[in-house]
Structure 1
Amino acid sequence: MTEFIKAALLVVVAEMGDKTQLLAMAMASKYKVKEVMIGVLVATIFNHALAVAVGNYLSSLIPMNKVKIVAAISFLIFGLWTLRGDKIDEDDEKKNKFGPIVTVAIAFFIAEMGDKTQLMTVAISADSHQPVFILMGTTVGMLIADGIGIIGGAWMCKHIPEIYIKWVAGIIFMFFGTLTIYNSIPSLLLSPMYIILYFLSLGILIYIFGVKFAYQDQACNIALSNKNVLKDNTK
C-alpha cells in the first residue's frame, strides 16, 4: 500500500503543468469531462503498464545500488523539467476521425510516450518489487492530477499563481533526488567540497530551467480558456 501511495503522490506532483495535463485541459474544451477522463484512464493504463514492465526488466539486469543512483538522477531531471514546464504543439490538439474517448486516448497515449510521468514510472518501478501497486498508483495519480487541471484549473489560477505550483513540485522532486543520492553514494564523495560543488551546479541548472527557459502560464491560459468555452456553451 505504501508503494501505491508513493506512486500516486509522485505522479500528481509530476503531472502538474506537464504536457499531458495541458493536453487533457485542452481536450476538455472540445469534449465532455467524462469522455476526457475515460480516455485518459485507458491511455494511462496501457502506457504505464509498458513503463512498469520496462522498469521491472531493468531492475533484473542492473544492480540495485546503481538503480537507486539512476533513480536519484532521474528525480533531479524531473524536478528541472517541472520548473521549465511544457507546452502543447498544435498537432497535439488536432482532431481525428475517431470518437471523443478514442481520440483522447490516442492523443494522450502518444503525448505520454517519453514524457516525464512515463519515465518516472519506469524509474520508481525499477526501484520496487510491487509492479501492480505502482501501476495502480500512477494511474490514480494521473486521473487526480488531470481531474484537478480540468475541473479546478481555473480556480487554482485565480488563487495560486502557476509559478508557485511548478516551483513547489520541482523542489519536491529535487529534494527526493538529493536525499537518494546522499543515501546511495560512497561516503568519500560526501566531503564539503563535493557538497558545495553539487549545490552550486544544481543552482545553476535551476536558474537555467526555472527562470531562463521556463514556459510561463501555459496551464493557466488553457484552464481559463476552457472556463470561457464552457460558459459560452451554456448560454
Structure 2
Amino acid sequence: MIATILLSFGVLFLAELGDKSQLMALTFALRYRWWVVLSGIAVASVAVNLIAVAVGHFLGAALPTNLIALITAVILLGVGVWTLREVHSPEAETEQPRHAVAPNSGRALFVVISAFLLAELGDRTMFATIALASQHGWFGVWLGSVVGMVAAGGLAIAIGITVGKHIPERAIALGSGLLFLYIGAATLLSTFEMGRVAEMGLAAVAPLAAGLILWLLRRRDNRVDPAPSLTEQH
C-alpha cells in the first residue's frame, strides 16, 4: 500500500510540474487567497482521481476531451477578460491596500474547482492515474495521486504568494488576467492537436493582443483626460 501511494505521488507530482494546471494554480494564487485556491485544487483532485480509479480505461476512452477542453477554455478566457476589465475600470486607478476588497470566497472557490476539474478531466495526469489503477490497488493510487496533485499545486501557490508580495495589486491583476488568457488560449488550441510547442507559441497571441488593446485604451484615456496643470491645481 505504502509503495503504491509513494509511486502514485511521485508520478502525479512530476507530471504536474510545468503543466497548465500548475500554471493555473500560480495564477489563481495571485488573484485569490491561498487557502481558497488550495481548497479548490484539493476538491477537484479528489473528484477527478476518484473518477479515474473507479471507472478506469472505459470512462477514460469515453470522455469527450475536446468538448471538456472547449468548456475549460471558455471559462478561463472569460475570467481573463473579466479581470482585465476590472484593471481598466476607473475604480482601479486608485491603488488600494492589498486585500482591502477581497474577492468573494465562495465564488472564488467555485471558479477554482470548476477550472481545475475541467482541466484535469481527460488530461495526461488522469490517464496516468488510470494506468496506475489498472496495475495497483485503487485506494493507494487514488490517495497518492490526490496528494501529488495537491502538492504540485501547493508549490505553485507558494511561488505565487512569494512573487505577489513584491508586486503592486494593479500589476498582479493585469498579470493574472493576461495569464488566464494565455492558459485559456492554450487549452482551446489543444483541441486541434497541433503539437505542444505550436499550442504554447500561438497561445501567446491572446495576451499580447489584450495587452496592446489595454495600452491603446490607456493612451486614449490620457488624451481625453489629461493630468491637471499646476495652475489648475491651485
Matched, 1:133 2:140: yes
Rounded Cα–Cα distance in structure 2 between residues aligned with 1:19 and 1:90: 15
Rounded Cα–Cα distance in structure 1 between residues aligned with 2:117 and 2:50: 12
Rounded Cα–Cα distance in structure 2 between residues aligned with 1:89 and 1:55: 25
Rounded Cα–Cα distance in structure 1 between residues aligned with 2:108 and 2:161: 23
Partner of 1:105: 113
Q: In the superposition, relative to structure 1, how do residues 149 and 118 fare at CA in structure 2: closer, same or farther (>3 Å)? A: same
Rounded Cα–Cα distance in structure 2 between residues aligned with 1:138 and 1:35: 20
Instruction: Give CA-to-partner distance per residue, 1:139-162, whole Å, 9 cap, x none.
Output: 000111111122136989xxxxxx
1:117 to 125, 141, 159: 125
Rounded Cα–Cα distance in structure 1 between residues aligned with 2:31 and 2:44: 18
Rounded Cα–Cα distance in structure 2 between residues aligned with 1:112 and 1:152: 21
Partner of 1:45: 46
Partner of 2:4: 3
Rounded Cα–Cα distance in structure 2 between residues aligned with 1:138 and 1:30: 26
Alignment of 1:12-161 (within 5 A): 12-55=13-56, 89=73, 91-92=75-76, 94-95=78-79, 99-128=107-136, 130-152=137-159
Partner of 2:182: none
Rounded Cα–Cα distance in structure 2 between residues aligned with 1:23 and 1:57: 28
Aligned residues: 136
Rounded Cα–Cα distance in structure 1 between residues aligned with 2:58 and 2:114: 26
Instruction: Give CA-to-partner distance per residue, 1:69-111, whole Å, 9 cap, x none.
Output: xxxxxxxxxxxxxxxxxxx957325449962112211111011
Q: In the superposition, relative to structure 1, how do residues 149 and 143 fare at CA in structure 2: closer, same or farther (>3 Å)? A: same
Contact 2:75–2:115 (Cα < 8 Å) also in 1: no
Q: Aligned-pair distance for 1:213?
A: 4.1
Contact 2:9–2:148 (Cα < 8 Å) also in 1: yes
Runs of 5+ consecutive residues of structure 2 not aligned to the other structure: 60-71, 83-103, 164-193, 204-234
- What is the letter of the counterpart of residue 5 of structure 2? F
Partner of 1:78: none
**Most deviating of 140-149 and 92-101:** 92-101
Rounded Cα–Cα distance in structure 1 between residues aligned with 2:77 and 2:39: 17
Return the TM-score normalized by structure 2: 0.50
Rounded Cα–Cα distance in structure 2 between residues aligned with 1:154 and 1:27: 10
Partner of 1:192: none
Rounded Cα–Cα distance in structure 1 between residues aligned with 2:124 and 2:117: 13
> RMSD value over aligned CA atoms?
3.3
Contact 1:57–1:126 (Cα < 8 Å) also in 2: no
Alignment of 1:160-179 (within 5 A): none
Instruction: Give CA-to-partner distance per residue, 1:2-55, whole Å, 9 cap, x none.
Output: 000000011010001112111111111221111000000001101110000122
Rounded Cα–Cα distance in structure 1 between residues aligned with 2:129 and 2:41: 16
* Greater C-alpha Rg: 2
Task: Please give the secondary structure, in 1, of the residue aligned with 2:31.
Answer: coil
